[in-house]
Amino acid sequence: MYNGREITYVHLLFGAFLSIAVAKPKDGDVIYPPQFTSNRIVGGSEAADGLAPYQISIQTLKEGRHFCGGAIIARRWIITASHCVVRQKAEKIKILTGTQELKNDTGRYYFVDRIIKHCGYNNPAYANDIALIHLNDTIEFNEHTQPVDLNTEPLKAGDELILTGWGTLSLGGEVPKKLQTLNVTYVSFEECRAAHNDSAWVDVGHLCTFNEKGKGACHGDSGGPLVHNNKLVGLVNWGRPCAKGYPDAHANVSFFYDFIRTVTNGCTSNKVPPTTPDPMTHLKKEIEIIAK
């Protein structure tokens, strides 16, 4: 199923795309998605009208440059990969919703007030690559803009997933104007790790997929959604650039379900607490609780 055992890795930061190259692995190869590149789904096809109304594009605020994908999960919440936003500031990015085309001005932009990365991101390497983006306004839902439900059930061998994104169509290629889609097959953790030469970079929090050589995710698809039975199962993380016959690795949504629910329910804060808190604050809270 997979040719070769030597491998090096490169994050899928900037989008899924299908690649045709099948060069021999080299020590200098990197894993997509490397940030600050622009590639997309390789070997896919243009998405049918109405497909993936949850798909969003993360863009630079001033230039409007697409660099990652993501999905709507609530009226003010976007989910994506941590490597997409690790170097970003909330006030420097914007979110495009409600369109399959990046440049036709039919979608709507929303702006960001908070970015919450998983506290264990990249520790160990390539693990916990998931993040949540909070918007400063409420998304207006319509036929072109809808949230996607989160998957909580385990996948079975052979399950087919739908990958969407604006990643480059080939390694180093151009970003497509129209949203791309590709059907990929779920690969078990054991099979995926074996295909990657038993590398620890394939973590228990990853969900792997495969398609034949010349098809798969690529730069620009990073953070983008994978869906099964209309539920979000994964977010594009990394793979060998691009579509070279090895399984791609994605953040497993069911594995991170507690993290997602905790953050979106407001049970955490990314604000730094004061270094010298009021010594009476804790007592005051206890009094209020007792009074109730």
Kindly report, residue by residue over 190-238, the tens digit of the pLDDT.
999 999 889 999 999 999 998 765 455 554 478 999 999 999 999 999 8
Indicate whether 197 and 222 sit together in one domain: yes
Please report the pLDDT score of residue 103 as a whole number: 84
Does residue 124 form part of some domain? yes
User: Which of 64-68, 71-75, 220-224, 236-240 has the lowest average pLDDT?
Assistant: 220-224
Please report the pLDDT score of residue 37 as a whole number: 35
Indicate whether 177 and 99 sit together in one domain: no
Indicate whether 186 and 126 sit together in one domain: no
User: In angstroms, how far is the first alpha carbon of the chain from the final one?
Assistant: 63
Closest CA to 255 of 233, 270, 227: 233
Residues 6+ apart with CB under 8 A from 135: 76, 77, 78, 95, 110, 111, 112, 113
83 is catalytic: yes
From 222, 228, 248, 254, the catalytic residue: 222
From 19, 38, 57, 83, the catalytic residue: 83
Indicate whether 208 and 115 sit together in one domain: no
Indicate whether 152 and 228 sit together in one domain: yes
Handedness of CA 252, 206, 158, 188 (dihedral sign): negative
* DSSP-based three-state secondary structure for 257: helix
Does residue 229 form part of some domain? yes
Q: What percent of the chain has pLDDT over 70?
A: 68
Indicate whether 152 and 250 sit together in one domain: yes
**Domain containing residue 78:** 53-135
| 268's tokens | 């955490």
Question: What CATH number did the domain enclosing 110 receive?
Answer: 2.40.10.10
Does residue 6 form part of some domain? no
Does residue 104 form part of some domain? yes
Burial class of residue 197, CB neighbours in 10 A (0-12, 13-18, 19+): middle
Mean pLDDT in residue range 86-113: 94
170 is catalytic: no
Give, in degrees to the nearest 5, the angle at Cα 13 between 11 and 14. 140
Number of domains within the chain? 2
From 57, 129, 134, 170, the catalytic residue: 129
Give the separation between CA 193 and CA 191, rounded to whole angstroms: 6
Please report the pLDDT score of residue 79 as a whole number: 98
Interval 13-50: pLDDT, tens = 333 333 322 233 343 444 444 333 334 465 568 899 99
222 is catalytic: yes
Does residue 162 form part of some domain? yes
Residues 6+ apart with CB under 8 A from 107: 96, 97, 98, 99, 101, 144
Burial class of residue 208, CB neighbours in 10 A (0-12, 13-18, 19+): buried
Does residue 83 form part of some domain? yes
Indicate whether 177 and 250 sit together in one domain: yes
The rounded mean pLDDT for the chain is: 78
